[in-house]
Amino acid sequence: MDEERLQRSAVVANNAMNRERGLDGVNSYARDLGFHPLDRLEPPLSGQDGAAWLDLCCGRGRALAQAAGQRRDGLTLVGVDLVGHFDPAAASAPNLTLVTGSITTWRPDRTFDLITCVHGLHYVGDKLGVLARALTWLSPGGTFAGHLDLNSIRLLDGGPATRLVRRLLREAGIGYDARRRLVTCTGPRELDLPLAFAGADDQAGPNYTGQPAVDSYYRPTRTGTRAEPAPSPRRAVTVDDTGVRVDHGTWVAEAAWADLAGATVSRFVVEVADVDHLELTVDLVYGHHLSVADDADGFAEAVAELARRWGRPAPDLAALAPGDGHVDVWRRG
């Protein structure tokens, strides 16, 4: 069957593999993955940009809710599950976004420092396609870890594809722990496998977990299909009654009006590096600053709003030259 029919299968919709699994303990992510997710997030969390964890097939979202409950500054959490029967504690957890949808079609608008899929691929038709897409969502140095039973991947004639897929993963620099049935990868990767998804069988019976699972069938091709490229971080700047907010996609900085010392706009040009853009710089009273380039959503509107609140006309951004230096658009007092 195809992916759409498969998602209506009782085996997929009612599976109990990851419904109640927590962050640590006996029935936990830490035990099944062989590492604690928050340990992998510690290095980026210690930096100024923070860290983000995406959990595919997150079940009720208990592990994410428990991570959110630790209230780590700079930690962003996202969970995706087809069923969407989320734990109430997860639905109300801070910095946690829960999405009801299929991981075969869902697409994020950012990259992640950790992506997990704990026993979720067992119930997906195009397992290799999902893996290929997810690997492009990793940030530099980010970790992917997900369970994949290679015995559930078959060629169109029914023959096993275990040795073939294992060799292809190894050649692509992707790790596979046969004991844990765990695929791991560090850093974003374009996984271009010469296999095309042909359909799935939800009547394959129990896999190594003892639970009914789905077998996936592939047709060998001369060339594979590359996954969609990693999403570019969304950049945006807004100015409102609360102050200035700069969204760099992987992190967000906010400054209240009481913290603002001034704001300037300038044209930044480096000819040898083919750089030519406008830049808005917001100076803060405690010595730091925020800056954002003109490719950010709302750039011109933010400059105009700052000038309006200062009671001055907004500068003509199209006419701004490098020699104009930093042009004031807002100044305290």
Tell me: do 211 and 255 sit in the same domain: no
Tell me: do 195 and 315 sit in the same domain: no
Has residue 226 been placed in a domain? Answer: no
Which residue in the block uniquely carries the two structure tokens 């800056």?
291
Q: Which of these, 279, 197, 203, lies nearest to 235 by C-alpha position? A: 279
User: What are the Cα distances from residue 128, in Å, to 18, 77, 114, 163?
Assistant: 20, 24, 19, 14
Tell me: do 18 and 128 sit in the same domain: yes
- Dihedral angle over CA of 318, 323, 325, 330, nearest 10: -40
Tens of pLDDT, residue by residue over 27-40, are 899 999 999 999 99
pLDDT at position 34, please? 93
Length of the chain in terms of residues written: 333
Residue 225 pLDDT exceeds 80: no
In degrees and rounded to multiples of 5, residue 59 shows phi and psi of: 65, -135
Q: Which of these, 222, 250, 242, 231, lies nearest to 305 by C-alpha position? A: 242
Has residue 108 been placed in a domain? Answer: yes
Has residue 225 been placed in a domain? Answer: no
Tell me: do 249 and 130 sit in the same domain: no
User: What are the Cα distances from residue 168, in Å, to 146, 194, 219, 252, 291?
Assistant: 17, 9, 15, 38, 43
For residue 149, the enclosing domain spans 3-220
Has residue 105 been placed in a domain? Answer: yes
Q: What is the mean pLDDT of residues 19-24?
A: 83
Other CB atoms within 10 A of residue 217 CB? 21
Residue 88 pLDDT exceeds 70: yes
The answer to whether the beta carbons of residues 157 and 52 sit under 8 Å apart is no
Band of residue 232 on the pLDDT scale cut at 50, 70, 90: low
Has residue 138 been placed in a domain? Answer: yes
User: What are the Cα distances from residue 115, in Å, to 52, 73, 241, 309?
Assistant: 9, 19, 36, 43
Helix (H, G, I), strand (E, B) or coil at 153: strand
Tell me: do 155 and 250 sit in the same domain: no
Residue 273 pLDDT exceeds 80: no
Other CB atoms within 10 A of residue 263 CB? 27
- Beta-sheet pairing, 215-220 with 195-201: antiparallel
Tens of pLDDT, residue by residue over 296-321, are 899 999 999 999 999 999 999 999 99
pLDDT at position 14, please? 58
